[in-house]
Amino acid sequence: MKRTAADEAAADGAAADGAPTQPNWAGALLRAQMRNLAPFLTLIFLVVFFAIASPSFATFDNVGNILTQVSVTGIIAVGLTFVILCAEIDLSIASVANVTGIAVAYFTLQESYVNIANVPLPGWAAILLSLALCAFLGLVNAVGLTVIGIPSFIMTLAMMQIAAGISALLVRGQIAYKVPELVSTLGSASVAGIPWIVIVAAVMLLGGHIVLTYTRFGRYVYMVGGNREAAEYSGLNVKLILGSVMVIAAVCAGIGGMLGVAHFGSAQQNEFDTYLLDSIAAVVVGGTSLFGGRGGIGNTIVGLFVLGVLNNGLDHVDIDSFLKILIRGLILLAALIINVYAQRLRATAPE
């Protein structure tokens, strides 16, 4: 059928009107991957910069040092990733790590109140009791969040003080050195030149990735973080998921605390205070969204390396030690800005 001039004009008008609405695939891809690309590019920049600035940085021995330095943070950050993916926060992880590390040393002591006739508990019993303690503290967080309805920020802030108080009661200003042999091996020994603590961190990161990526529970975590109301309408038990991730975070923190005590060689009060910021920074700098539903263990690994390379690299260059703290804060601020703007770009992106 022959087209009339009016038909051709209408077609041209439709094409002209529709041109601006055609998807800009490059821009869409950049918006979608901005949260992932920024930390990866930051990591590459830091590696290149410190490799040029200090010959001692780019060595195999130093790579091992970086892996060891981020191991405890990595173990704690596994559980925190689950929490942040649900658009919640846990400010008690450092205190829970500290109290668990102190508890495993306390239960191993001959003078421990739980021991009978001043006979030390078997190592496995001390470990199980310590894990039960951190799981219980996580359960209290879960009940406060899901049953009572206390916001996670406030609930875990209170738990941070509670766990710190338990730590103070257990050590009473003293320092404990003895831990079960298994904990000592995993925290301070090596196999084939690879520290066990690095292997444990790698296994836990891999396990967290598998759970989040390939299991139904992992899909539920993303659903709750992505759209909590939709998850509820679909019949998902949102409170159970939220409670579960709080317990997971506490247990991961507890494991990190026990191995950290063995790695440091002692258990004492306030030993893990810096790990709160480090763990949150690792998750957020890596690109996991503070608004929930986007990110994962892969992002956390990138964030761990960014922090590890930054902290280690600053030790290899001649720079004011007080300036290092400022630089770390600026890196975290940049990550937060990218996180927020990536969320806005995605929200305003055309369908």
- Terminal Cα distance for the chain, rounded: 35
* Mean pLDDT, the chain, whole residue set: 84
24 is a domain residue: no
1 is a domain residue: no
Which residue do the tokens 């690109």 mark?
287
Residue 259: give its domain's CATH number: 1.10.3470
pLDDT of amino acid 22: 46
Could you count the other beta carbons within 10 Å of the beta carbon of residue 229? 8
DSSP-assigned beta bridge partners for residue 191? 194
Please, are residues 130 and 254 in contact by the beta-carbon 8 Å criterion? yes
Supply the range of the domain harboring residue 280. Answer: 39-49+56-340
Asked which of 14-18, 122-126, 166-170, 249-253 is least confident by mean pLDDT, the reply is: 14-18
Please, are residues 160 and 95 in contact by the beta-carbon 8 Å criterion? yes
Residue (of 216, 244, 267) closest to 90 by Cα position: 244
**Count of domains for the chain:** 1
124 is a domain residue: yes
Please give the share of the chain, as a percent, with pLDDT higher than 90.
50
Separation CA 151–CA 225 (nearest Å): 15
16 is a domain residue: no
pLDDT of amino acid 13: 46
261 is a domain residue: yes
12 is a domain residue: no
Which residue do the tokens 């920074």 mark?
281
93 is a domain residue: yes
20 is a domain residue: no
Token pair of 194 as six digits: 């690879």
> Would the pLDDT of 112 be above 60?
no
pLDDT of amino acid 258: 94
Please, are residues 86 and 348 in contact by the beta-carbon 8 Å criterion? no
> Would the pLDDT of 319 be above 60?
yes
Predicted confidence (pLDDT) per residue in 72-105, tens digit: 999 999 999 999 999 999 999 999 999 999 999 8
pLDDT of amino acid 340: 72
Tell me the average pLDDT across 105-122: 64
Tell me the average pLDDT across 289-302: 90
Predicted confidence (pLDDT) per residue in 206-248, tens digit: 999 999 999 999 999 999 999 999 999 988 999 999 999 999 9
188 to 50, 253, 259, 266, 303: CA distances (angstroms): 28, 18, 8, 11, 24
Torsion of CA 66, 70, 75, 78, to 10 degrees: -100
Residue (of 325, 349, 317, 345) closest to 54 by Cα position: 317
pTM of the full predicted structure?
A: 0.85
